[in-house]
A and B are shown apart, each in its own frame.
Chain A
């Protein structure tokens, strides 16, 4: 009978820090996608995002004592490391747009193209946001991380998360309104 109780993140981290490869793999499989999406949302580059993922997990394993379970979830801690690891890249990279995954089973080719175009436009708009607003939008809106965990990850107060998110959404809406207006005047 399979073991239905999965070890918690701190347990996996402790084992991985002792050299347990299976624990490290389990932790990676559990958390890497979220770190990757955060980094991709911030940089717009798949290559840079993968590098951030690698460096984040290596930093975690080389300094496991840096994580204190009393202070928050490991996921938030990982976002924090990813943010620090990728900060240089986030700033150096020119927001570039790469083709995302295909929209699954498009009802029609025109609908699919339009949907994809909308995603690309929004991706550009997110990448063009100032870094502080972008972090809040990527974590809260794209990754659906709670305000508390976002505040932990970014090292700011929950109120600051709310205000940055509000401002970020407003900027996005503004850009998208302009796009919509542009389409309608064509």
Chain B
């Protein structure tokens, strides 16, 4: 029986390795295209980021509004409300720009605690614990401009 020694095998393997070559140059361009798409996608904020930003922005807005209010003489839950608004309409936030100045934005639906609706003058069952859905209008700079309570009776 013929011997096929280790050295001979290594020599043949080296020859095989040399024949394997490289990927086609076009592959680099295809991959770069995918890289660009992937990078752009990763830079774009995910929907949950917008929702979190909206909740945060609204919280800040409510806090700012509360800080600017003069404390009532004898505060009661009813008297704390700034004014009554009909449900389903957009309520401008204090530091928001006038609506005619908002040229671009993003509407994000969030769930807020009932107390948030109460601060905007909407009647809320004090015993209610379920969140209330609201649309927050974020300006192109990411700042909350207005809020609309959805389906609030």
Q: How far is the CA of A118 from the CA of B3 in the complex (A)?
A: 16
Q: How far is the CA of A173 from the CA of B23 in the complex (A)?
A: 29
B16 touches A25 (CB 8 A): no
Q: How far is the CA of A54 from the CA of B20 in the complex (A)?
A: 17
Q: How far is the CA of A118 from the CA of B14 in the complex (A)?
A: 12
Binds A, one of B24-32, B83-91, B129-137: B24-32
A157 within 8 A of B: no
A177 touches B15 (CB 8 A): no
B69 to chain A, nearest CB (A): 45
Q: How far is the CA of A47 from the CA of B3 in the complex (A)?
A: 36
Q: Label chain B's interface by main secondary structure.
A: helix
B21 touches A100 (CB 8 A): yes
Which residues of A in the span 41-71 have a Cβ within 8 Å of any Cβ on B? 41, 49-50, 53-54, 57-58, 61-62
A1 within 8 A of B: no
Chain A interface residue count: which class?
Answer: 35 or more
B35 within 8 A of A: yes
Query: Do A21 and B20 form a contact, CB below 8 Å, given A176-B4, A177-B2, A184-B2?
Result: no
**Interface 1/0 per residue, B1-13 and A, CB below 8 Å:** 1111110011011
Candidate in B3, B34, B43 with the most chain A CB atoms within 10 angstroms: B34
**Interface 1/0 per residue, A87-130 and B, CB below 8 Å:** 00000000000001101000000000001001100110010000
Query: Do A58 and B38 form a contact, CB below 8 Å, given A28-B28, A141-B13, A180-B2?
Result: yes
A122 touches B23 (CB 8 A): no
Which residues of B in the span 19-56 have a Cβ within 8 Å of any Cβ on A? 19-24, 27-28, 30-32, 34-36, 38-39, 42-43
Cβ-neighbour of B30 out of A41, A54, A119, A122 (below 8 A): A54
Q: How far is the CA of A29 from the CA of B28 in the complex (A)?
A: 8
**Which residues of chain A have a CB within 8 Å of any CB of chain B?**
16, 19, 21, 24-25, 28-29, 32-33, 36-37, 40-41, 49-50, 53-54, 57-58, 61-62, 100-101, 103, 115, 118-119, 122-123, 126, 137, 141-144, 169, 172-174, 176-177, 180-181, 184
